[in-house]
Amino acid sequence: MNLISLSKRHIILLIDNLLLINVYLPCTYTADREDEYVECLASIMNDISELKFSDIIFRGDLNMEQNNKSNL
């Protein structure tokens, strides 16, 4: 197991060919939420851009609002 990255918003591990990413994205009421959101995802992309892996699991607290409206 290799620790690729550890920050306050995410942790990335590589186990053989499996990439594990756990995130804690900012809540909707967080000031500068959009900037933090983009910064976190950009950091993850930067951290994994040169890794070789065949499978990925991306989990965590995405802090997304659910829209229960149906388009039907």
Per residue in 62-72, pLDDT (tens digit) is 887 666 555 44
25 vs 4, more confident: 4
Strands 18-24, 2-6: parallel, antiparallel or unpaired by DSSP? unpaired
CA–CA dist 64, 19 (Å, integer): 23
**What pTM was estimated for this model as a whole?**
0.82
3 state SS for the chain:
CEEEEECCCEEEEEECCEEEEEEECCCCCCCCHHHHHHHHHHHHHHHHCCCCCCEEEEEEECCCCCCCCCCC
pLDDT in tens, 28-68: 777 888 898 899 999 999 999 999 999 999 999 988 766 65
CA–CA dist 69, 72 (Å, integer): 9
Structure confidence at residue 72 (pLDDT): 45
